[in-house]
Amino acid sequence: MNFLKNITIGQYASGDSFLHRMDPRFKLVILLVMVIQCFLLDKWLLLIAPFMFFVVASFLSGISFRFIMRGLKPVVPFILIAFICNSLLTPGHPVLMWKPPFAFSFSTDISGPVPEFDFFMIAMTAEGLDFGFFMSMRLIIVVLAASLFTLTTSPTEITDAIESLLRWGRPIGLPAHEIAMMMSIALRFIPTLTEHLERIVCAQMSRGADFEAKSIIEKAKCFIPVLIPLFVNAFKTAEDLSIAMEARCYRGGDGRTKLRAMKASWRDFASSAFVAVFCAALNYFQFFSRSI
Amino acid sequence: MIEANNVSYYYQKDSPDEHKAVSGVSFKIEKGEFVVMLGHNGSGKSTLSRMMNALIAPSEGTMLVDGLDVSDEEDIYEVRRKAGMVFQNPDSQIVCATVEEEIAFGPGNLGMPRDEIIGRIDESLKLMNLEKYRTASPGRLSGGQKQRVAIASVLAMKPDYIILDEPTSMLDPIGRNQILGTLRRLNREEGIAIILVTQRMREAFEGDRILVMKKGELVYDGEPGKLFADRKRTAAYSLGMPEIELISEKLRKKGVNMGGFCPSVEEAADRIAAIYGRKLGKSL
């Protein structure tokens, strides 16, 4: 039994590249800015630019491009669904169409400029294709960006960065240290819980439980007797862990020192400057293309 | 010195489910000692060990660690630093994602400056022979290695005492021997007092002193050899015999002159060699 084996999103590949050496806070902010920027763009042609941005960035990560693209595999079905649904359901000029013989239609004139939506007619429209492309590009870019970030930033660095960025919210009562501590413990316990899960599944299979059920509902039912012991186990582990933390003088974030200090370098300032110029240019083109 | 004066502990005090886990226990443990605390499940040994680390305060009596009272809120962090604690399950006591961060967790909580933390990591890794695994993820280590990481992270706080609550019970024989060897070395070379809480008879002879707990009471405090030589007492405390003594017992019954209680494999070998040597007319 191997759960979570093929997922590279959220995995960390240690290294010493440009991206690895960047300050995690800068990486996180750049990631957020770029993703927001992608959502502000409304033409898929314009999305090619941020896509190329992340392709170049992945060369700066020192990780093989094929390995990174493998991380996209689990998202492929979503991308396909998004593409197909959008291309079929967007009204517009049909490119490909198929009308079942039994169907009747309210508008018979299909050569007209924009035919009315026909319930029985299955048509791929130009607008739909355009929009489908656009949505899939967006998804691909977001997944690529996120996996690049997690591949080059260790979980501890991510939580440190989040803690440090959330510190701005402390005056309004945001528990920055607590949130970061919870996240890092959650990440640390993923392998432990996976191991528990596998053990429980094996124990139940050895007693005749069937996890190869056909329907989704049956499959979900199979997992109830697995999840209950898993949760009980998790609560017990959490209890033990909190005692072990207390035994080593843990008393919250105040006055705690960290092993690693985050330090911004020329890499971070240079990339931030580049991203700023890049986004400004993109927004300019977007505005420009709209006005014509 | 860890000093327990007439210590008692109740779970769910003043409720219908009240349960006395420890009753009227007194002992003193000096710096540099190696003490084994032996007892069956529910004998109160874990409760007592948690008191020495100020995780719980005694319901009655006082527990002092180098003169600091574990019931005193102001002193508990100093007590926890002085008397480090290692637990049974390696998986639920490791907090961080890499070995070095795990070791830095304790000193970080004490607010130590970064350079000093790095020095402590180097030192602890060296003492535990874990240099190779500095940046490894604890999840990929074996049980014995994980327990060594747990000990290393306690060592980083420079404790005078280390209390280990059944540290070997989830390990395989190799891991168990690694841990026991490490503890002996820490005790001998670093002068750290070890308090090993266990249910295994074989571990009873690790230390020079043994505390036996039964139903919340301290029933024996002294040398392990003397205790196990007294069959009536071990039966009264329902303690088993170490394997080597069981073998000696069988040999005695078959007429081999094994002498009295046999505490260790080396001792047994010496005695058998002496008998053989006499027969062959030379010393082996």
Write out chain B's pLDDT in tens, 284 residues. Answer: 999 999 999 988 888 888 889 999 999 999 999 999 999 888 999 999 999 999 999 999 999 999 999 999 899 999 999 999 999 998 889 988 889 999 999 999 999 999 999 999 999 999 999 999 998 888 788 889 999 999 999 999 999 999 999 999 889 989 899 899 999 999 999 999 999 999 888 888 888 899 999 999 999 999 888 888 888 888 888 888 888 888 888 988 998 888 888 877 888 888 888 888 877 777 66
The Cα of A185 is separated from the nearest Cα of chain B by a number of Å equal to 7
The CATH number assigned to the domain holding B7 equals 3.40.50.300
Are A15 and A63 contacting, i.e. CB atoms less than 8 angstroms apart? yes
Residue among A98, A96, A85, A94 at smallest CA distance from A131: A85
Say what the pLDDT of residue A9 is: 56
- The number of beta carbons lying within 10 Å of the beta carbon of residue B25 is 24
Give per-residue pLDDT as tens, B144-166.
Answer: 999 999 999 999 999 999 999 99
Whether residue A78 is contained in a domain is answered as no
Partner-chain residue, chosen from A155, A241, A251, that has the shortest CB–CB distance to B93: A241
In this structure, are B230 and B252 located in the same domain?
Answer: no
The Cα of B154 is separated from the nearest Cα of chain A by a number of Å equal to 7
Whether residue A205 is contained in a domain is answered as yes
Say what the pLDDT of residue A117 is: 52
Give per-residue pLDDT as tens, A98-142.
Answer: 766 665 555 545 555 555 555 556 778 888 888 888 889 898 999
Residues of chain A with Cβ-Cβ distance to B80 below 8 Å are: 246-249
Residues of chain B with Cβ-Cβ distance to A261 below 8 Å are: 114
The Cα of B248 is separated from the nearest Cα of chain A by a number of Å equal to 41
Classify residue B96 by its DSSP letter. Answer: S
| B101/A156 touch (CB, cutoff 8 Å), yes or no | yes
Select the more confidently predicted residue: B212 or A89.
B212
In this structure, are B224 and B253 located in the same domain?
Answer: no
pLDDT band at A210 (very low <50, low <70, confident <90, very high): confident
Number of domains observed in the structure of chain A: 1
DSSP B144-165: HHHHHHHHHHHHTT--SEEEEE
First-to-last C-alpha distance (Å) of chain A: 57
Say what the pLDDT of residue B62 is: 94
Residues of chain B with Cβ-Cβ distance to A256 below 8 Å are: 108-109, 111
In this structure, are B135 and B252 located in the same domain?
Answer: no
| B139/A248 touch (CB, cutoff 8 Å), yes or no | no
In this structure, are B123 and B224 located in the same domain?
Answer: yes
Closest residue in B to A157 (Cα) is B97
In this structure, are B251 and B181 located in the same domain?
Answer: no
In this structure, are B6 and B78 located in the same domain?
Answer: yes
Number of domains observed in the structure of chain B: 2
Say what the pLDDT of residue A105 is: 52
In this structure, are B224 and B256 located in the same domain?
Answer: no
Whether residue A224 is contained in a domain is answered as yes
Whether residue A100 is contained in a domain is answered as no
The Cα of B121 is separated from the nearest Cα of chain A by a number of Å equal to 10
Say what the pLDDT of residue A121 is: 64
- Residue B194, Ramachandran bin (φ over 0: left; ψ between -120 and 50: alpha; else beta): beta
Q: Answer yes or no: is the ipTM higher than 0.95.
A: no
Write out the residue range of the structural domain in which residue A246 sits: 176-261
In this structure, are B56 and B81 located in the same domain?
Answer: yes
In this structure, are B18 and B65 located in the same domain?
Answer: yes
Closest residue in A to B55 (Cα) is A247
Write out the residue range of the structural domain in which residue B277 sits: 241-284
In this structure, are B152 and B141 located in the same domain?
Answer: yes
In this structure, are B126 and B247 located in the same domain?
Answer: no
Query: Which residues 243-282 on chain B approach chain A with CB closer than 8 angstroms?
Result: none
| A156/B97 touch (CB, cutoff 8 Å), yes or no | yes
